[in-house]
Structure 1
Amino acid sequence: MNKFLILLLFPIIVFGQQNLDDVSRLFEKKEFAKAETVLNKFLETNPNNLEVIELLGDAYGHQKKWDDAITQYKKLVKSTPDVANYHYKYGGALGMKALENKFKAIGLISDIKSSFLKAAELDKNHIDARWALVELYMQLPGIFGGSTSKALYFAEELENLSKVDGYLAKGYIYEYDNQPELAEKYYKMAIKVGGSLICFEKLTKLYESKNQPQKAIKNIEEAQNKHQRNALHYQIGKVAAEYNIELDKGEECLKAYLKNYSPEDGVPKAWANYRLAQINLHRKNKSEALKYIDLALAELPKIKPFKQEKDKILNM
């Protein structure tokens, strides 16, 4: 009898696995609506499959269908309340709904907070849940439970798990709290310990937000020396063009970006031409500025800043 049951169920199991493999491929191709259809079909005959329910919640989340995602993640939390990641995803979907609907946000805060706290309690190594709590406590007004000290508590927990994450979290807290010197200190510590592009980017953005373009360029150059990424050429050119500093260096970097461009670099070539137009506008070189802004508009004709820049150039 047992062998009979195994043989009977085997085709269903294979069918299920085949569908799940198809879903994985759809996720890789970012075809989330198709994945949603496949998963819903599968759940018609397997309504309690937790893996499929989670994947369906993920598919809804990728499409920003937060109510639908919340429904699926809530099923997971109710059915298996001791899994940290279920609480984390449920809290995350609630948080995204709160960001999109400020009228409902107040009513969701308690559930968001308790979900992230439960995830952190269940899994002492859950880095994402602790990051979520750092951001939540910093962004909430004090009247709704916002607290720098609580954010720092979870930043300390992050530091015990991962020094890079801990330093980045503290940098974020102090930047949010308008203490740029401390933010700079911890971002630099993150660079020293980890040195990833994200670490460099956080420090660059801090410098830009505090109107310190020279420091921003120096930091991007250090990132370029370490990582050798063409995208960083664009970043140097962008800062030079926006702040009207080191224009020769900015021009050289932008031309290097265009020469070595590939789609993986992220920023379309049109934006590099736009920055070159800005640089030439700073130099009062109208013909060169027009040349580059026309190249930018030829590639992306509907971008408002490009049109505004051309008007500036024509009115020189």
Structure 2
Amino acid sequence: HYANELQNLSKVDGYLAKGYIYEYDKEPEQAEKYYKLALNTGGSVTCFEKLTNFYEKQNKPQKAIENIEHAYQKHNRNAMHYQIGKVCADYNIQLEKGEKCLHAYIKNHSVKDGVPIEWAYFRLAQIHKNKLDKTAALKWIDKALATRANFKQAKEEKAKILKL
């Protein structure tokens, strides 16, 4: 009901609200439909992020990557490089593409990207761990820890890498 009222005020916000409601109600086809409507109507970075997060929650990393690439073409934001690298690392897919994107993210990094650089080092370590390249994985995880010593996730990841 409120989503319909919101849609009358702002089509994009209404579509995003409906997408969220359908996602919450475990109706992924309807959720995807409304997230895509929001994206096609608005096309903001927020719309791209909602659809990408939806695909990740639905365990559809391939669609998530395609959506991020589409967003990158439209918005050309360096943060998109990180997002592609993150999905590749988390799902152990398209590792070369993920690695390339993370290196681009690091090369072009600035504070406005929103994600601290040590997270890119962390994701590179994950990718090398997924490739079973212990030496490179340790190099990147140590770089993440050198940047931020109290990086809990990096400490946990290092323990996993050392078991390779």
TM-score range, shorter chain: over 0.9
- Percent of residue pairs identical: 64
Residue in structure 2 matching 1:279, options 127, 130, 144: 127
Residue in structure 2 matching 1:234, options 78, 82, 95: 82
TM-score by length of 2: 0.98
Equivalent residue for 1:294?
Answer: 142
Which has more radius of gyration? 1
Equivalent residue for 1:196?
Answer: 44
Equivalent residue for 1:165?
Answer: 13
- 2:131 matches 1:315: no
Which structure 1 residue ranges, 4+ long, deviate > 3 Å from structure 2? Answer: none
Alpha-carbon distance in 2 for matches of 1:166, 1:174: 12
Give the unaligned 5+ runs of structure 1.
Answer: 1-152
TM-score by length of 1: 0.51
Describe the SS at the equivalent of 1:160: helix
Equivalent residue for 2:62?
Answer: 214
> How big is the shift at 1:311?
1.0
Equivalent residue for 1:16?
Answer: none
Residues 104-162 of structure 1 deviation map (CA, whole Å, 9 limit, x = unaligned): xxxxxxxxxxxxxxxxxxxxxxxxxxxxxxxxxxxxxxxxxxxxxxxxx1111111111
Equivalent residue for 1:245?
Answer: 93
Give the unaligned 5+ runs of structure 2.
Answer: none
> How big is the shift at 1:185?
0.2
For 1:35-74, list aligned pairs within 5 A: none
Equivalent residue for 2:31?
Answer: 183
Describe the SS at the equivalent of 1:261: coil
Describe the SS at the equivalent of 1:310: helix
Alpha-carbon distance in 2 for matches of 1:266, 1:171: 25
What RMSD in Å do the two structures reach over aligned CA positions? 0.6
